[in-house]
Amino acid sequence: MTTDPTPLAGRVALVTGASAGIGRATALRLAAAGMRVAVCARRAERLQALQSEVEQLLPIPADLRDEADVQRVFAAVRERWGGVDVLVNNAGLGHMAPLVSGSTEHWREMLELNVLALSVCTREAITDMRRRGDDGHIVHISSMAAHRVPPGSGMYSATKFAVRALTEGLRQELRELGSKIRVSAISPGFVETEFAELYHKDPAAKERTYGKFKVLEADDVAWLVHALVAAPPHVQIHDVLLRPRDQLS
């Protein structure tokens, strides 16, 4: 049995959207594995609270829809630790914005964060990874909406279908370059986070969405992120569909 010659301890991870839910749990998991972890999100007070739990975290408040903010995040990581070895593209959002009646603002916000910001962050991380030995790992947190279209979620699902295309497109480009950088995506089903309430703009949506059976917890997804980046270096795991046992689709 071979072991990974580049263990996670001491390597640098950047987790986006780390103020709550999956991002927060992932940051804690990777820090516990000995990684140096930078976290970014719009809610600065949440990042500070997270740092109070794990002192070695580097909190960077940012709105990733603004490319200048993305550049500032990567500059801060480069200044502190020299660059990024692992990027977890967790930042994302959803609006219930039907194609026949949704607002352009809601469509644009989903496309800008779920697709464009993810791509800009990926490009910047790969710049670091290639400079730091052409090694590293990109993990996109996608959704089961990347594999089917729930009613009313046409635009949100479109952004997640795009993440599938971006994952495969990046894999092909990296292979063509002969790079050792890996790319993975995780498509979770129901995870108990703030998502349902924010998506439906209704506090009662949390119980309706997560109360019918035991759904995933944020740390279940974080556990999988850790497993993917800790896999042997020749193993590249692509889009993982991660559902609660009792979820129908």
Active-site residue set = 156
Shortest CA distance to 217 belongs to which of 189, 196, 187, 239? 189
- Edge-to-edge order in the sheet of strand 36-41: 58-61, 36-41, 12-16, 86-89, 137-141, 182-188, 239-242
Residue owning tokens 């400079």: 131
How many Cβ atoms from other residues are within 10 Å of residue 239's Cβ?
Answer: 16
Strands (E), 42-111: 58-61, 86-89
Phi first, then psi: give them for residue 203, nearest 5 degrees. Answer: -60, -30
Phi/psi region, residue 82 (left: phi>0; alpha: psi -120 to 50; beta: rest), is left
Phi first, then psi: give them for residue 23, nearest 5 degrees. Answer: -65, -45
Lookup: tokens for 44:
């600065």
Q: Do the beta carbons of residue 72 and residue 85 sit within 8 Å? A: no
Q: Is 216 helix (H, G, I), strand (E, B) or coil?
A: strand
Shortest CA distance to 74 belongs to which of 21, 117, 135, 30? 117
Residue owning tokens 């660059």: 83
